[in-house]
Structures are given as structure tokens and as C-alpha cells.
Amino acid sequence: MDSRILEIFSCIKQCAITLQELLQCDDSGYLASTNASGDTQLAVDVRADRILEDALLKLACVGGVCSEEKSSALYKQKVDSSLVESTFLQLDSSQSLESSLLIAYDPLDGSSLFDSNLSVGSIFGIYDGVFSASALVAAAYIVYGPRLEVVLACEGVEHCVYSGGQWRSKGALQLESKGKLNAPGGTQKHWSKEHKELVESLFAKGYRLRYSGGMVPDLHQILCKKGGLFSYPATSDAPNGKLRKLFEVFPFAFIYERAGGEAINGRERLLSLSCDGLHDSTPCFLGSTEEIAQVRAIYMNKER
């Protein structure tokens, strides 16, 4: 594995410990501010974002970062490594550092669950030189729950747990061809006819509902249970989906593919999609191969 990716993974593990401590002592109050996606921010969102930004930008191998909480990316300048803000997916080669990795992250996914004491997480996409699905070389996420866990994906998908003051590997995560869990996101009254048909079909086949409202815990459970389907479709109130490509969708698509699953927008592979802006969103379906085949059959009007 690329030594730069190993360095970033090590940093993410250390940040996980710091953020777990933050979550145990910080308040869950809302601020007057909103993030780049229009969500009202918690105080803990802002603090988590700053911790990750500071830690990641200290790494020599990292040339820039972009947070789901902010409207622009921070890039290191080529001449003196000073920081410049930009809404572009990459800097001109005359400005940017050579051979450096870029990281897009959601510092605290599912933070609205925080005051209910439900599991939340952090998501990381590691890109080579440009924020684009084709440049994604690794991904990771943290789960802050009854246990502190990290999942790291490069060639494979490694599941790690923090116990007794140290990280230990629980082994590789691998999806089977068919699962039992169904995690459908979005407000039901805004679902399309096709999506209602899909969800009803899965329940008719005996799938179990497992949906907390947090992307990280829901997708993590499907991985740990070896199969199922997570969906956040296009809806009448969010025709381009709600989840952001760079910070949430692309990293998890990468992880699911490395774990033997698939990830599509209903028709196309998620990692084949273009990205025109830092906060672009898309419908998404992630799961085992049989569940994704059912999605394609319904969304592409093919016989099942």
C-alpha cells in the first residue's frame, strides 16, 4: 500500500480517539450558523471539522482538504505551502503541490442523532490530485458508538476496533451476494413510484428494516451483517438526491465495491459519475450484488 495512504489512515485513527473524547463531553446545542449544504450546525460539528482540518493539513502528503461543512476547499500553495481557498475541484498545476493527495470528509455525519445518543460517524475520501471519482484511491469512515471503530479501504476493506488503549484489526469486511437488511432513506411521501415498488418488493421477500437516519451506522451494519441494501433515492423534494458525492457517496461506493458489493444511482455506477461542484449530490443505492440487481430491474424497467 502507498505509504502516503498509510500515513493518512494512521492520522484518521488518531483523530478518531480525539473526536470520541469530544463527543463524550461536548454539548449538543445548535448554532445560529448553517453549513455549505444549508444544514443548521451543532457546536460539535464545527469543533470536529477544525480538529480534522488541522490534523490532515499537517501531513506532508496532503495537498488540500474539503469539508462538508464548508463551501470551498483549502489547498496548499506550491511555492510555500500556504493555504488558499477555492471552490474548484483542483488547483492549476502551477499553483498546486505535486504528488499530493486531497481529502474530502464529512466531519460528523448524522450529527442530528447526537442528542438522542445514537451512533454517528465521520467519512473520508482520499483523492489523487483532483476531487473526482476516477481519482479516488482510498476511503475510510469512523463509527462513534458503544465501541469506537474505523473501517479503512484501499485494496481491501479492514475493520478495526479501539480497545484497551490500542487499535486492533477485526479482519476484512466482505459482502455476500445477498443480504437480509433494507435501509431506505428519504421521506416516504416524496418517493417515486419506482422506489415504492422497490421497497415493497424487498419487504415482501422478507428483508428487515434497519434505518437509523445516519448514513455511517446504517451502511456499517450492512457491511458487518454481510449484505443488504442502503438507498437514498431521487425524491420529489430532492430530485438530485440529498447525499453529497465527494464527502459521502463516492467514499462509501469505493468501500462497498472493495467489499464485493455494488453502488449505483439507479442506473449508472456511482464511481463513473462526474462531479461539477464540491457539494454536488446524487441518488444512491449501495449493497450486495443481488439487491443492486433488483434496483436495476425496477429502475431500468427490466423484467425481474
Q: Provide the 3-class DSSP secondary structure of residue 7.
A: helix
pLDDT tens-digit profile of 274-292?
A: 999 999 999 999 999 999 9
CB atoms within 10 A of CB 252: 28
Rounded to the nearest angstrom, the gap between the alpha carbon of residue 28 and the centroid of all alpha carbons in its chain is 22
pLDDT tens-digit profile of 143-187?
A: 999 999 999 999 999 999 999 999 999 999 999 999 999 999 988
Q: Examine the pLDDT at 25 and tell me if it is beyond 90.
A: no
CA–CA separation, 199 and 151 (whole Å): 28
- Taking the model in full, what pTM does it have? 0.93
Rg (CA), the chain: 19
Over range 197-224, report the average pLDDT: 95
Q: Which of 28-37, 219-228, 247-256 has the lowest mean pLDDT?
A: 28-37
Q: Examine the pLDDT at 97 and tell me if it is beyond 90.
A: no
Q: Examine the pLDDT at 304 and tell me if it is beyond 50.
A: no
Cell matching residue 164: 484497551
Cell matching residue 208: 428487515
Amino acid letter for position 192: S
Helices (H), 133-225: 193-204, 215-224
CA–CA separation, 165 and 64 (whole Å): 30
CA–CA separation, 122 and 2 (whole Å): 22
Residue list for the binding site: 68, 106, 108-112, 211, 242, 248
Residue list for the binding site for Mg(2+): 68, 106, 108-109, 248
Residue list for the binding site for substrate: 109-112, 211, 242
Q: Examine the pLDDT at 98 and tell me if it is beyond 70.
A: no
pLDDT the model gives residue 33: 58
Domains of the chain: 3-172 (3.30.540.10), 181-299 (3.40.190.80)
